[in-house]
Structure 1
Amino acid sequence: MDNKQLKWILLIIMALIWGSSFILIKKGLIGLDPYQLGSLRMIFAGMFLLVIGFRTLPQIPRDKWKFMFLTAMFGIFIPAYLFAIAETKIGSSITGVLNSLVPLNSLILGALVFGLNFKRIQIIGVSIGFLGSLMLVFTGSDTQTTANFFYVFLVFIATLCYALNVNIVKKYLADIDSLTIATGNSAAMIVPAFVILCCTGFFEVVHLSKVQHSMAFVFVLGLFGTGVANLLFFRLIKISSTVFATSVTYLIPIVAFFWGLVDNEMLSPLQFVGACVILVGVYLSSKK
């Protein structure tokens, strides 16, 4: 299979995984606080990646470890907590669409900070995709406002972190394979995540059935939403542009709204139009 076909397959798989992450966060917050959820998510993901990729750690050059720590911090550690905190006040669908700011931020940071070049058609694609995402949220029956601006701002900061991460990987870690990057990230974040978990009083309430039920959702979130998805994401960055890789955030709201449909939430006709607009934006942003 050539890279042109593979990148679209990876994009769809990641959209399905990450699009399901927001409902898993919502379910996890029933029995856990945001810091417990974020820490457990990283610990579960880290254990999985270290088990399958521990032998790759010696392959990381010493001068690359600083970038490993940066990608772990911006790509996993900070966003894991920011998204969990944000969803205590704003809906999962709103959070999902705000996540669509990642490609736009990636373009801006790539051009201003990393000196990367992009075509005008990519900028147009990013803009179209983001407009489609807005249509998905604000034309349906779930019209929850974003009046909690502080929590909206937290999601915006998380998207900046993701944008920094994808540019760092593309510019400084392009010569390292996906499993090695993901394992290096795990080695960098798992200890601080465990320290934070210990400070939350988690082990005093872990015996409660509500907590254990929420942990099951977070286990799935960590294993697939962070562990497996990051492996696929780093692979996608290597075989495509940073803009195309981050375009997965346009497809995420479609999956998130599907889960709403399962939960008896109907999509409006304009929301289906918005989904089509998103696909157009992804196609245009994938242009080299």
Structure 2
Amino acid sequence: MNTTSSTTVTSQNKTIIAWLLLCLLATMWGSSFLIMKKALPTFSPVQIGALRIMAAGLVFLPWVISHRKEYPKAKTKYFFASGFLGYFLPAFLFALAGTRVNSSLIGALNSATPLFVLIVGAIFFQQIIRRWQAIGLIMGFVGSIVLILSASKDGLSFNNPYALLVILSALMYGFNVNITGKFLSTINPVLLTAWTLFGVGIMAGVVLFSTDFLSKINQATLYPLLLIIFLGVVNSGIATIIFNYILQIASPVFASSVTYLIPVVATMMGFLDGEPISLLHYFGMSIILVGVYLINKK
């Protein structure tokens, strides 16, 4: 009797922690847009993406070195797949898409990530789709579209082949979340992040220093440079630890639902920055929150 009660309390605590961490993660990733916006006048999208991934990878160098004897060589292919599909390639695909696609469309398309997590999980990883999950995913996606449309000045146009780059990134995220959830879920979240990001961080460094990045570094560019480093260390590195931990205590679909909350955070930050919020904003955010709740419904 006591064992059952203890198990119930532990399960409830994990659910509360998962929700709190999901909100924190959404805040971190949702603020990334503002940080990148302030750095774009100085650095190119490719340089921002490369520096972000490189900084995220290098910050974990002490863990990579101190735990080198614990590295599970048998899982190398999964670390590489996760880092390549979940971080390296999307960083550059989003950078390229951002040169031809407006941010509203990118945000809407990125909200398809949980759908891909569910679809990829069902097709390739034998995951079972529950009814409430399906309903929650659909509601979250609809809410994201409402929120994006309410903030869009130019409207959404899907007649742009560059939009497919965002869809491809969302598909990659779907594979990454399932790979991490199935093959890497037992690894300490910090070490998992370190081993995943360090390798792609080196590759990102090669890309970064093949551009004119060094020639742009001077006293005037110090502030945007620090912003990108912060973006990499905190909004990518630490955020990835949080994301990996959520994967371990919740589910891949629940963890990926953070992409529904990101537009909510971006909208609220826009309000604090002086942008108006309409009733349509609140309606969209309400649909999203209900959708995320249903995704985690037992």
How would you bin the TM-score normalised by the shorter chain? over 0.9
* 1:249 paired residue number: 259
* 1:201 paired residue number: 212
In the alignment, structure 1 residue 94 sits paired with structure 2 residue 105? yes
In the alignment, structure 1 residue 263 sits paired with structure 2 residue 263? no
1:66 Cα deviation from its structure 2 partner: 0.8
* 2:197 paired residue number: 186
AA of the residue aligned to 2:232? G
In the alignment, structure 1 residue 286 sits paired with structure 2 residue 286? no
In the alignment, structure 1 residue 227 sits paired with structure 2 residue 240? no
In the alignment, structure 1 residue 45 sits paired with structure 2 residue 47? no
Relative to the length of structure 1, the TM-score reads 0.93
**Conserved? CA contact 1:26–1:92, under 8 Å:** no
AA of the residue aligned to 1:161? M
1:147 Cα deviation from its structure 2 partner: 5.3
State the alpha-carbon separation in 1 of the partners of residues 71 and 218 from structure 2.
39
> Secondary structure in 1 aligned to 2:135?
helix
1:72 Cα deviation from its structure 2 partner: 0.5
1:267 Cα deviation from its structure 2 partner: 1.8
- Cα RMSD after superposing both structures: 1.8
State the alpha-carbon separation in 1 of the partners of residues 295 and 35 from structure 2.
29
1:139 Cα deviation from its structure 2 partner: 2.5
State the alpha-carbon separation in 2 of the partners of residues 100 and 189 from structure 1.
24
**Conserved? CA contact 2:144–2:260, under 8 Å:** yes
**Conserved? CA contact 2:189–2:244, under 8 Å:** yes
* 2:33 paired residue number: 22
In the alignment, structure 1 residue 238 sits paired with structure 2 residue 229? no
Give the percent of matched residue pairs that are identical in Structure 1 and Structure 2. 38
State the alpha-carbon separation in 2 of the partners of residues 71 and 207 from structure 1.
35
State the alpha-carbon separation in 2 of the partners of residues 168 and 180 from structure 1.
16
Relative to the length of structure 2, the TM-score reads 0.90
> Secondary structure in 1 aligned to 2:161?
helix
Deviations 1:28-74 (A, max 9, x none): 22111122111100111112222355423432311101100110101
**Conserved? CA contact 1:69–1:188, under 8 Å:** yes
AA of the residue aligned to 2:153? D
AA of the residue aligned to 2:268? F
Aligned residues: 287
State the alpha-carbon separation in 2 of the partners of residues 7 and 54 from structure 1.
30
1:132 Cα deviation from its structure 2 partner: 0.3
Deviations 1:64-85 (A, max 9, x none): 0110011010111111112222
1:23 Cα deviation from its structure 2 partner: 2.0
AA of the residue aligned to 2:41? I
* 1:78 paired residue number: 89
Q: What 5-or-longer segments of structure 2 have no aligned partner? A: 1-9
Identify the match of residue 142 of structure 1 among 137, 149, 153: 153
State the alpha-carbon separation in 2 of the partners of residues 107 and 188 from structure 1.
27
**Conserved? CA contact 2:57–2:199, under 8 Å:** no
* 1:32 paired residue number: 43
State the alpha-carbon separation in 2 of the partners of residues 57 and 34 from structure 1.
33
State the alpha-carbon separation in 2 of the partners of residues 85 and 186 from structure 1.
21
In the alignment, structure 1 residue 124 sits paired with structure 2 residue 139? no
Identify the match of residue 173 of structure 2 among 162, 171, 177: 162
> Secondary structure in 2 aligned to 1:149?
coil
**Conserved? CA contact 1:57–1:180, under 8 Å:** no
**Conserved? CA contact 2:49–2:91, under 8 Å:** yes
> Secondary structure in 1 aligned to 2:186?
coil
Change (3 A) 1:229 1:148: farther
| Structure with the greater alpha carbon radius of gyration | 2
AA of the residue aligned to 1:276? S
State the alpha-carbon separation in 1 of the partners of residues 234 and 277 from structure 2.
26
Change (3 A) 1:203 1:46: same
